[in-house]
């Protein structure tokens, strides 16, 4: 008699129940539809990236679910974060609600009242690193061939999303350090709207992450000779150095620190620069975050974390990402993302005070 045949009926029942439970867990997403909330409008930077991901994710999720994109712009990206974190507007912590967000690291640091949730209200799935490029219409510069000639200029009208967003605040901090006179026209829903205003001459400066840079800024503004790249945002390097994206450097786009040094003969320093660099480090490491509402089923969270990690290594995904974004995908694993979220509670008070001043928060 086989070992299996010698099992008692109750034992067989327990085994079959365990097998059935395992199969059900493995097929958590079978026949399901996942709503992916993007916190900026269709055609914007975050939306472009999210649509590439959802094209490949089902390949690595048992049950092959369907993804739908729900664009929910507003409040500098925080409307969507609030909806997902508070589990309202049809969004739930049942594993069927996912957020693909441009992460505004400024909001939790300065206690922005527009952000109604905490980062602990989310389960971290993945982070996507990204670089940003500042650009301006040629007539802004004293010499269009020299980005450093923006130092001390007047009449800059920069496109923004929300006064307290990392996008707007970094524009403000960088132009303050360059001693330029400017006004930020904020409240735009996405990168497409900003670039349309620049193309029409209503604005003359802004910043873009690489999806919008490759798909909108370069073909519509740079290649026709309307605008020029100013700088890329740097991050902290070893031994007090500052680093940029090597691919952007090959295109001749230098870091802000190098452009500043050309203008003033030394690297920037002081509390304003320290705050600026902190936001750069955070935003570059997790420019986008992928999250679920806290309390989502463990099986769903782990399945989605696995799917993003595997998609990030998929050769076809990487090829399409490179075709559109022009830069390799850089994914932040869950443990590192959770550590970054936790670090927000340990920033020095004097740095937070500088950030609040830069974000126009009294």
CATH code for the domain of 178:
3.40.190.10
Mean pLDDT value of segment 339-357: 89
Residues 77-104: tens digit of each pLDDT = 999 999 999 999 999 999 999 999 999 8
In this predicted structure, the answer to whether residue 216 has a pLDDT above a threshold of 80 is: yes
Beta bridge partners of 97: 35
Checking if the pLDDT of 343 tops 50, the result is: yes
CA distance 289 to 283: 10
Write the CA distances from 295 to 98, 121, 201, integer angstroms: 13, 8, 47
The two tokens of residue 163 are: 């006064």
- What pLDDT is stored for residue 362 in this prediction? 60
Answer whether residue 332 is part of any domain.
yes
Average pLDDT over residues 46-64: 96
Do 254 and 208 share a structural domain?
A: yes
CB 168, CB 93: distance < 8 Å:
no
Using the predicted structure, report yes or no on whether residue 220 has a pLDDT greater than 50.
yes
Same domain membership, residue 125 and residue 170? no
Burial class (CB in 10 A: 0-12, 13-18, 19+), 215: buried
**Is residue 359 in some structural domain?**
no
Are 354 and 348 within 8 A, CB to CB? no
Q: What is the CATH number of the domain that holds 23?
A: 3.40.190.150
Mean pLDDT of 39-68: 95
Average pLDDT over residues 325-338: 90
Given a cut of 50, whether residue 63 has pLDDT beyond it is yes
CA-closest candidate to residue 360, choices 106, 105, 40 = 106
pLDDT of amino acid 327: 85
Q: How many domains does the chain have?
A: 2
Q: Are residues 121 and 145 in the same domain?
A: no
Both 270 and 292 in a single domain? no
Domain membership flag for residue 4: no
Closest residue by Cα to residue 211 from 287, 142, 281: 287
Mean pLDDT, the chain, integer: 91
Residues 62 and 105 in one domain: yes
- Same structural domain, 331 and 279: no
Same domain assignment for residues 184 and 114: no
Instruction: For residue 354, tell me if it sits in a domain.
Output: no
- Domain end: 233, 252, 283, which one? 283
Sheet with 122-128, side-by-side order of all strands: 66-71, 33-38, 97-102, 288-293, 122-128, 331-332
> Are residue 191 and residue 267 in the same domain, yes or no?
yes
Q: Is the pLDDT of residue 23 over 70?
A: no
Q: Which residues contact 171 (CB under 8 A, 6 or more apart)?
A: 134, 158, 160, 182, 184, 205, 206, 207
Residue 2 confidence class, pLDDT cut points 50, 70, 90: very low
Last residue in a domain, options 258, 283, 308 = 283
Q: Determine the pLDDT at residue 4.
A: 33
Select the more confidently predicted residue: 178 or 211: 178
pLDDT at position 14: 53
Q: Look up the domain containing 41 and give its range.
A: 11-129+286-348
Q: Residue 26 has what pLDDT? A: 55
Out of 23-32, 239-248, 296-305, least confident range: 23-32
94 and 154 part of one domain: no
pLDDT at res. 288: 95
- The predicted-structure confidence for 138-154, as pLDDT tens digits, reads as follows 999 999 999 999 999 99
| Alpha-carbon span 344 to 127, nearest angstrom | 16
In this predicted structure, what is the pLDDT of residue 6? 43
Model pLDDT, residue 13: 54
Angstrom distances, CA of residue 259 to CA of 195, 233, 282, 284: 23, 11, 21, 19
Check whether residue 196 and residue 91 sit in a common domain: no
Domain contains 6: no
**Residue 3 domain flag:** no
Q: Given 3-state DSSP classes, what are the helix, strand and coil percentages for the chain, each rounded to the nearest 5? A: 50, 15, 35
Last residue of a domain, one of 234, 256, 283: 283
2 lies in a domain?
no
Q: Would 360 be classed as within a structural domain? A: no
| In the predicted structure, residue 45 carries a pLDDT above the cut 90 | no
On whether both 329 and 245 belong to a single domain, the answer is no
- Note whether 75 and 28 are same-domain residues: yes
First to last CA, the chain: 81
Distance (Å, rounded) from C-alpha 73 to C-alpha 221? 24
Please, where are the H alpha helices in the chain? 9-26, 45-56, 78-86, 106-110, 166-177, 191-199, 210-212, 246-250, 256-264, 271-285, 298-311, 315-325, 334-343, 349-358
């Amino acid at each position: 008699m086989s070992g299996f045949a010698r099992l008692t009926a109750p034992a067989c029942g327990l085994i079959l129940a365990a097998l059935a439970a395992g199969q059900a867990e493995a097929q958590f997403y079978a026949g399901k539809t996942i709503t992916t909330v993007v916190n900026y409008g269709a055609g914007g930077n975050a939306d472009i990236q999210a649509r590439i991901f959802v094209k490949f994710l089902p390949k690595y999720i048992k049950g092959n679910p369907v993804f739908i994109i729900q664009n929910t712009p507003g409040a500098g990206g925080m409307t969507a974060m609030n909806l997902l974190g508070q589990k309202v507007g049809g969004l739930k912590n049942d594993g069927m609600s996912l957020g693909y967000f441009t992460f505004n690291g400024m909001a939790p640091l300065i206690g922005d009242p527009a952000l109604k949730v905490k980062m602990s209200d989310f389960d971290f799935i993945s982070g996507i690193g990204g670089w940003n490029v500042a650009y301006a219409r040629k007539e802004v510069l004293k010499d269009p061939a020299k980005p450093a000639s923006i130092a001390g200029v007047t009449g800059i009208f920069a496109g923004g999303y929300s006064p307290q967003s990392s996008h707007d605040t970094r524009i403000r901090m960088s132009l303050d350090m360059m001693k330029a006179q400017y006004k930020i026209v904020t409240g735009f829903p996405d990168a497409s709207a900003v670039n349309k205003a620049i193309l029409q001459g209503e604005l003359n400066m802004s910043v873009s992450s690489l999806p919008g840079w490759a798909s909108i800024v370069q073909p519509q503004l740079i290649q026709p000779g309307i605008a020029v790249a100013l700088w890329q945002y740097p991050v902290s390097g070893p031994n007090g150095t500052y680093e940029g994206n090597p691919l952007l450097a090959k295109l001749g786009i230098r870091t802000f620190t190098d452009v500043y040094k050309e203008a003033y003969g030394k690297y920037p320093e002081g509390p304003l620069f320290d705050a600026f660099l902190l936001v750069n480090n955070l935003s570059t490491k997790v420019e986008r975050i992928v999250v679920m509402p806290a309390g989502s089923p463990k099986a769903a969270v782990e399945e989605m974390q696995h799917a993003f990690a595997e998609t990030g290594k998929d050769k076809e995904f990487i090829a399409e990402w490179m075709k559109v974004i022009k830069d390799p995908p850089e994914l932040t694993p869950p443990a590192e993302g959770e550590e970054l979220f936790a670090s927000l509670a340990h920033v020095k008070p004097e740095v937070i005070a500088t950030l609040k001043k830069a974000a126009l928060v009294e």
